[in-house]
Structure 1
Amino acid sequence: MNKMRNSVLLTVLLLQLPVTTTKGGHWEDYKYGLQNSEQDKKQFCCSWKCLLFTLQWPGGFCQSLNKETLCRIPQSINTWTIHGLWPLQAQHCCSCWPMFHSDVQELEAELSEHWPSLVTTKSSFHFWRDEWRKHGVCAACVEGMNSPPRYFQICLKLRAQFDIHKLLEDAGITPSCEQPYKVEEVHSVLVPHLSDRHEIQCVTDDKDREVWFQVKIPLSHNLTLGCDHHGDAEDDLATGSNRAWSSSPGHPCPPQVPFYYFPIDHQQPKQPCG
């Protein structure tokens, strides 16, 4: 019953969005003016069946950075944030659809709250723009995500749907420097809400501790939980081999090794536990 309800709720997300268009010639060029080579490339990039909606935990994300000075956590950030929405087996689909600040101006406050940049070398807008260029243009094959505003609206709605912080807190799983957790106990809390295909990811900190920093949630083409594509996507979720997120510094949290769910420290983001 929970799976059916989640499926209906996620599918309805697309239907709730207003019809939006991007002003100027760029959208018209993309929609009507592609040359054959670009059309062929677009058709290839639209062959994806599944997406990964990825959330990151700021207290753990900072452990993935090489330099302490690279990390920043805005004072207003105290929960899980968006990393991206990535079509599997699709990357850099089209360079002909740029994104401008005006595309997300009306969403900027909400994006800053739920999708901030956590590195000092990149502004939040540049983070969003990079995600659109790498992944959003591939997701744009779906009508409900066929513009920057629609793509980011969907991401924000998914973030509201998957309130991981509350799910964990209700189960007594809270950030701690002393209490490690096991993969099995976290999975048992998240499976009813994220499907059994989700993946929790860790990074190894400078003290060789496994630190939780990311959750990847597989979604089908119509944004329902799980993924019905039993080919590349299934292998990718198991091995982490997909190009769309192979550059991620994380790895699946080892089932037999307890991991830490570090608290957020705004003053010392890379050293929350000393």
Structure 2
Amino acid sequence: MDHSQLANMCRRTKNLDVSETGQCLLLSILYWVFDYFDSHKRFGFSTFKYLEEMKFFICILALQQLYVQSVAQDFDFFYFVLQWPGAYCDSRHSCCYPKTGKPAADFGIHGLWPNYKTGGWPQNCNPDSQFDDLRVSDLMSELQREWPTLSCPSNDGMKFWTHEWEKHGTCAESELDQHDYFEAGLKLKQKANLLHALTNAGIKPDDKFYEIKEIEKTIKEATGFAPGIECNKDSSHNSQLYQIYLCVDTSASKFINCPVMPHGRCDSRVQFPKF
């Protein structure tokens, strides 16, 4: 690879912003300088060898930057997924309360997932970016309350949040660092306030059955946008309200129309189980 090829690669990479393109072009200029002195034989043999090694190293740095940036930035929207704990527990899943105790009877955050308009999604975008609980220490009490896990065995949530960050959050690092990612999820839950909206419409977690269209209508009126609804089956094979999908812009600050609407397998009437 010569300096012109490296520069062209930088310009062709659509996912880089202005500052990142500048960094990439700076690498190409450094490469050009080394190449110039090398081609004009301004140094001795040992320096030639050093320059060749430096050129190789610069190429590796440039390619690595292009790869990480293109992976981390290449998404179109988020799915913000809220889960009803009663439906999680009242199914074939085993259900264990967190070490902090039984969560409130409210929708819990499952995740904030980058997605493509084509229907696919990125995942595990940066293995070097690991979950660090110290970065979200000021959010810990809220995470335990609003983003709990019901997986077994009973645990403190660290494994769940690690999974969510490393699989999904790392693919949104162009927009949100680790703290901002989890804080955005917490703010979106408060903004949606789904249980309040449903309860006010007479749709309550009381084991009764409700029209799925009424649930969709209520959530759309509350948030301004149509949701995706996922159902699961209880031990009696009843269709029950399980997860709500809301689409969010890439800044994770506002709800939007879903470019791709997720479709769960729901009957026309679904049970809203107690928790």
| Offset, 1:90 | 1.5
Answer whether contact 1:211 1:259 (CA < 8 A) is retained.
Answer: yes
Higher relative contact order (CA 8 A, sep 6+): 1
Query: Matched residues, percent identical?
Result: 25
Does 2:174 align with 1:141? yes
Alpha-carbon distance between aligned partners in 2 of 1:194 and 1:165, rounded to the nearest angstrom:
12
Answer whether contact 1:42 1:94 (CA < 8 A) is retained.
Answer: no
TM-score, with structure 2 as normaliser:
0.69
TM-score, with structure 1 as normaliser:
0.69
3-state DSSP class of the match of 1:169?
helix
Answer whether contact 1:200 1:216 (CA < 8 A) is retained.
Answer: yes
For 1:57, the equivalent position in structure 2 comes to 84
Describe the shift of the 1:35–1:193 C-alpha distance in structure 2 as closer, same or farther (beyond 3 A): farther
1:63 partner amino acid: D
Cα RMSD (Å) of the superposition?
A: 2.2
Runs of 4+ in 1 over 6 A off after TM superposition: none
Describe the shift of the 1:227–1:187 C-alpha distance in structure 2 as closer, same or farther (beyond 3 A): closer
For 1:106, the equivalent position in structure 2 comes to 138
Alpha-carbon distance between aligned partners in 2 of 1:82 and 1:220, rounded to the nearest angstrom:
17
Alpha-carbon distance between aligned partners in 2 of 1:63 and 1:203, rounded to the nearest angstrom:
9
| Offset, 1:62 | 1.6
1:172 partner amino acid: G
Describe the shift of the 1:100–1:238 C-alpha distance in structure 2 as closer, same or farther (beyond 3 A): closer
Describe the shift of the 1:132–1:169 C-alpha distance in structure 2 as closer, same or farther (beyond 3 A): same
Q: Work out which of the two has the higher radius of gyration on C-alpha atoms and give 1 or 2.
A: 2
1:126 to 159, 182, 193: 159
For 1:224, the equivalent position in structure 2 comes to 254
| Offset, 1:196 | 3.8
For 2:212, the equivalent position in structure 1 comes to 183
Does 2:270 align with 1:259? yes
Q: Deviations over 1:160-200 (max 9, x none)?
A: 111111101111111122x2011111111111223443111
Q: Deviations over 1:37-87 (max 9, x none)?
A: 4631431341211101111111011234444xx433633422111111000
Alpha-carbon distance between aligned partners in 2 of 1:182 and 1:194, rounded to the nearest angstrom:
19
For 1:244, the equivalent position in structure 2 comes to none
| Offset, 1:34 | 6.3
1:206 to 215, 227, 235: 235
- The 5-angstrom pairing of residues 1-274 of structure 1 reads 36-37=63-64, 39-67=66-94, 70-72=95-97, 74-88=101-115, 89-121=121-153, 122-142=155-175, 145-146=176-177, 148-177=178-207, 179-222=208-251, 223-227=253-257, 233-234=259-260, 237-239=261-263, 251-254=264-267, 256=268, 258-264=269-275
Gaps of 5+ in 2: 1-59, 116-120
Alpha-carbon distance between aligned partners in 1 of 2:128 and 2:143, rounded to the nearest angstrom:
24
For 2:18, the equivalent position in structure 1 comes to none
Query: How many residues are aligned here?
Result: 207
Gaps of 5+ in 1: 1-32, 240-250, 265-274
Alpha-carbon distance between aligned partners in 1 of 2:231 and 2:83, rounded to the nearest angstrom:
10
